[in-house]
Copies of this chain bind each other. A is one copy, B any other.
Amino acid sequence: MKAWLSKLNIDLSAAPSSPEELARTVLASVSPDFRCRIETVPALEESFRIRNDPDGSFTVSGGGTGVLYGAFALIRSVFSGKELPDSLESAPRYPLRMINCWDNMDGSVERGYSGSSLFFEAGAFHYDPLRMRELGCFMASVGLNVLCINNVNVHFPAQLLLEDYLPEAAALADLFRPFGVRLMFSVDFSQPMRHGIPTADPLDPAVQSWWNETAARVYRAIPDLAGFLVKADSEGRPGPFTYGRNHADGANMLARAVAPYGGKIVWRCFVYNCRQDWRDTKTDRPMAAWEHYSPLDGQFADNVILQVKHGPFDFQVREPLSPLLLGMKHTNLAMELQLAQEYTGHQIDIYTMIPMWKELFDELPEDHIMSVAAVSNLGRDDNYTGHPLAAVNFFTYGLLAWNPQTDAADAVTEWIRLTYHFAPEDERALASLLLSSRRTYEKYTAPLGIGWMVSPHDHYGPNPSGYEYDLWGTYHKANRDAVGIDRTASGTGYLLQYPEAYQHKYADPETCPDLYLLFYHRLPYSFRMKDGRTLIQRIYDDHFEGYEETKAMAEILRSLPFPEPDRNVILSRMDRQLYDAKEWCDIINTFFRRLSGADDTHGRTIYD
């Protein structure tokens, strides 16, 4: 096994017959004198108990998949040297813990930085069954239970997953079943039109019939399919708006089709005007999802889940929690995270996400969502995640999806211990580096919640005005006096989409948390921060610090005893991060100095 299961020595050349059998295999692999019993208690379902008996043996009890999760929890403890209490009970916080792969059937992966698709090649299924079983183990080891295998942007021939390719899709579902993993498919809302139906209008009976028949056929082949994932009316995708219907009409139509089989419709809420005129200062893109969906609260079928990106923009390094996740109390919600480092360094820059996710979960009231999803960062690279250290994001995402109370430092430390054999001081150094890496990246990139200062299209590297006159609704409107967008009641009013306590926290620039300042406010460069620094000086300081911290990261990484081939990959990517952090630092500082005319109070070099 690879990555954080490198210490797990099991034979995956044949398929396990069931989660229980896999649980037994996993536990039997530890050592000859490791004694552990398994008790299947169907009513426990995904939950498990681990009892540490006085004689030193263990008992893992749980439902069909619960024993598997228990087995992995136990061996993670053993391999990471973590003390277990005499008795441990654990149940997943969210019933659906999903991975969304943005894999295309041509073998490419949209926003993939780890090589080509694990599942597809040249328009057809093409995979290594052994790697599929490894992926099953990765998911089971951290309790993830749903795998959507194809891109939400459904490019032909991915429609055939519900048609000609269904037998092969069913074979893949069989392969993943013993790992407690159910498949999901992204579907094309207009798919009935491939079959002689002249419309995809969700209220058209012929459309409903087609989906009913399709669902029946698909569920005959894959009875435990988790459901369908839908990106509709978004960035050029077809959807209900074409027919003057709303998204409840669209989602509920699909929901009726899959309901008889226990299927879910996971409906993405990434709807906004991606052709916004830059001259239009009334339209504020972060407001779009709330405007589209909040009027529909309570109108969605029980088996519909609205999947909402964690922030109102698109996976920037710093965004507030989406207002939809705080409203929509009568709707099933999933929060969508992104393991793929689209805007966060392309798995070249080190960017450990769990501190960011913890902030999100801390702001999210109990029971407000019922599911989590994350865009995969996996691909056909030998190490699965391109950058070996990016695997920490997959691992900790699983732990947090199971239990959002999971401590960030504990999770990262566990991942290090499972992945490498480090002395305690090296372990601490790496944990500290990973835990601070997001803040470092944030410092050297776009300042204080602005986001988007990346190259358009590829989303890597600094381009302070790359989006400024473009169509994507992502403007900072920096001029010689001020920067940022006023999103309070005196500006676009975005902040009014939030509950009152939340509004109170961010409305006043004097009290708004610094790191969200330019997301919510337009401020002059001379604005005094809470610590007395001017805004412009804070921007400069963050950028210089971000680069200095990156240099320190590079030093630490060079000193750590990574095994090959990881060491080589890690250090060569670090060289690129270091180069790019310098570019970011200098370009952003120059950009703001050209506008503001302000010198750095510490006399550091800002280029003309």
Interface residues of chain A, those whose CB is within 8 Å of chain B, are 278-279, 281, 462-465, 469, 477-481, 583, 586-587, 590, 593-597, 607-608
A465 contact set on B, CB distance < 8 A: 464-465
User: Which residues of chain B are within 8 angstroms of A463 by Cβ–Cβ distance?
Assistant: 469
Chain B positions within 8 Å of A479 at CB level: 593-595, 597, 608
Question: Which of A480, A590, A608 is most buried by chain B, counting CB atoms within 10 A of its CB?
Answer: A480
Residues of the B chain whose Cβ atoms lie less than 8 Å from the Cβ of A597: 479-481
Q: Provide the residues of chain B in CB contact with A607, threshold 8 Å.
A: 278-279
A478 and B587 contact, CB distance less than 8 A = no
Q: Shortest Cβ distance from A592 into chain B, in angstroms? A: 10
Contacts of A281 in B (CB 8 A): 608
The 5 A-B residue pairs with the shortest CB-CB distance, nearest first, are: A479-B594, A480-B480, A279-B607, A469-B587, A480-B597
Q: How far is the CA of A583 from the CA of B279 in the complex (A)?
A: 10
Q: Which residues of B contact A595 (CB under 8 A)?
A: 479-480, 594-595
Complex: how many Å from CA A481 to CA B594? 8
Within the assembled complex, what's the spacing in Å between the Cα atoms of A371 and B20?
84
- Find A594's partner among B480, B587, B590 (CB 8 Å cutoff): B480
The smallest beta-carbon distance between A168 and chain B, in angstroms, is 34
CB distance from A348 to the nearest CB of B (A): 18
Q: Which residue of B lies closest to A461 (CB)?
A: B469
How many copies the complex holds: the figure is 2
Give chain B residues whose Cβ lies under 8 Å from the Cβ of A477: 594, 608
How far, in angstroms, from A593 to B468 measured CA to CA in the complex? 14
Which residues on B sit within 8 Å (CB–CB) of A469?
A: 462-464, 583, 587, 590
A456 to chain B, nearest CB (A): 10
Minimum distance in angstroms from A134 CB to a CB of chain B: 39
Closest chain B CB from A524 CB (angstroms): 12
Task: Please indicate the chain B residues that have their CB under 8 angstroms from the CB of A583 in the complex.
Answer: 469
Q: At the interface, is chain A mostly helix, strand, loop or mixed?
A: loop
Residues of B within 8 A of A279 (CB): 586, 607
Q: Nearest B residue to A470 by beta-carbon distance?
A: B463
Q: Which of chain B's residues has its CB closest to A455's CB?
A: B456
State the Cβ distance, A259 to closest chain B Cβ, in Å.
48
Give bound CA distance, A281 to B605, whole Å: 14
When distances are taken between beta carbons in the complex, the residues of chain B under 8 Å from A586 are: 279
Interface centre among A464, A478, A590 (most CB of B within 10 A): A590
A583 to B583, CA, bound (A): 29
A-B contact pairs, 21 of them (CB 8 A): A278-B607, A279-B586, A279-B607, A281-B608, A462-B469, A469-B583, A469-B587, A469-B590, A477-B594, A477-B608, A479-B593, A479-B594, A479-B595, A479-B597, A479-B608, A480-B480, A480-B594, A480-B595, A480-B597, A481-B597, A595-B595
- Name A480's closest neighbour in chain B (CB-CB): B480
Output the nearest chain B residue to A462 by Cβ-Cβ distance. B469
How many angstroms between the C-alpha atoms of A594 and B469 in the bound complex?
A: 13
Residues of B contacting A608 with CB < 8 Å?
281, 477, 479
- CA of A478 to CA of B597, assembled, Å: 12
**Cα(A608)–Cα(B464), bound, Å:** 17
In the assembled complex, the CB of A587 is this many whole angstroms from the nearest CB of chain B, namely 5
Nearest to A475 among chain B residues (CB) is B608
Bound CA–CA A608/B277 (angstroms): 12
Which residues of B are found within 8 Å of A594, using beta-carbon distances? Answer: 477-480, 595
Give A476 to B590 CA distance when docked, in angstroms: 13
- Give complex CA distance A3, B296 in Å: 60
**Chain B residues within an 8 Å CB radius of A587:** 278, 469
Not counting A278-B607, A477-B608, a sample of 9 additional A-B residue pairs whose C-beta atoms are within 8 angstroms of each other reads: A278-B587, A281-B608, A465-B465, A469-B587, A477-B594, A479-B593, A479-B594, A479-B597, A480-B594
Q: What chain B residues lie within 8 Å of A464 (beta carbons)? A: 465, 469
Contacts of A478 in B (CB 8 A): 594
- What is the CA–CA distance of A586 and B278 in the complex, to the nearest angstrom? 10
Closest chain B residue to A595 by CB distance? B480
Residues of B near A462 (CB, < 8 A) are: 469
Nearest-CB distance from A396 to chain B (Å)?
Answer: 34
CA A479 to CA B596, docked complex, whole Å? 8
* Interchain CB contact (< 8 A) of A596 among B278, B480, B593, B596: B480
Listed residue (A464, A586, A607) with the most chain B CB atoms within 10 angstroms of its CB: A607
Q: Which residue among A465, A481, A586, A596 has the maximum number of chain B CB atoms within 10 Å of its CB?
A: A465
- Of the candidates A469, A607, A608, the one having the most CB atoms from chain B within 10 angstroms of its own CB is A469
Q: Nearest chain-B residue to A479 (Cβ)?
A: B594
A219 to B607, CA, bound (A): 55
CA of A595 to CA of B478 in the docked complex: distance in angstroms? 9
* Alpha-carbon gap, A546 to B160, bound state (A): 52
Q: Which residues in B have their C-beta under 8 angstroms from that of A480? A: 480, 594-597
CB distance from A179 to the nearest CB of B (A): 45
Distance between Cα atoms of A559 and B169 in the complex (Å): 60
Query: In the complex, what's the smallest C-beta–C-beta distance from A234 to chain B, in angstroms?
Result: 25
C-alpha gap A478/B587 in the complex (Å)? 14
- Of A279, A478, A586, A593, most buried by chain B (CB within 10 Å of CB) is A279
